[in-house]
Amino acid sequence: MRRIIAATSLLLAASVALSGCASAATAEKARPSWSYGADTGPAQWQTLDPACSTTRASRQSPVDIDTSTLAIDPTAAPVVLHDRPASFELGNDGHMIVAVADDPHAYAITIAGTRYDLRELDFHAGSEHELDGRPAAAELQLVHVSSTGAIAVMSVLFRTGAANAALDEVFSSMPHPVTVGTDRVDLTEPIDPAALIPPGSTSARYIGSLTSPPCTADVLWNVYLHPLTVSPAQLHDLTDIYSDNHRPVQPLNGRTITGIAAG
């Protein structure tokens, strides 16, 4: 199986790198079930993974980004995109739609000299991050992992408008829950991840966590402030499967969000 990390447990990326796919799969199988519903939803995740608890010291994600106070740091390292299309396999893991890179080293970004390989594209409806207290229609998270297991996520918000040509096959091929764990779709067209990043957009950078159990900390987030568009039909392709699979925003607890100019 080509999948390198579980869509709902990005911590497994480090497990794969250090211990191999077998141990990662065992760890995921043993994890208690969770959901976005009332009984096992975000308010209950702390009982499944203590790291998901909200305390005065926690640094959890997602967050609300106040653009009026966001200052550009001219010394901060930008995200360097490597313009190279990659092949993906589309799946439904029971929590979200995930496109997993066939080759986990085919595409990468560089931040401050560290290479992060793109592992998967995660889709959420509505958005997890908010801008000035307002959520977007959906959110795409491009999950990258370094050779040491460090995680960097680039987040792109979607609003309804023109169709997104770069993701047309993804939206039209999304597998429904009846195929969870059985069917995966090999996308016929490669995706250029650089085409999924809003051109010329400032991003908001902060240190947070995974947005689903195990809610692991020390994740480097870059949330782009300019949304991309998806057509109403494309958005329906997503929400027809998962109408609402996002974690509510978490307290900043004194964290600084830094504005990063487009690279």
Question: What is the secondary structure of 88-100 as a DSSP string?
Answer: EEEEE-SS-EEEE
Asked about 95 being catalytic, the answer comes back as: yes
Is the separation of the CB atoms in 252 and 70 below 8 Å? Answer: no
| Alpha helices in 100-179, H assignment, sequence order | 168-172
Q: In whole angstroms, give the CA distance from residue 171 to residue 165.
A: 10
Active-site pick, 82, 95, 236, 246: 95
- Which stretches does DSSP call E strand in the chain? 64-65, 79-81, 88-92, 97-101, 108-111, 114-125, 130-131, 134-135, 138-146, 151-160, 185-186, 203-209, 217-224, 228-230, 258-260
Residues labelled catalytic: 95
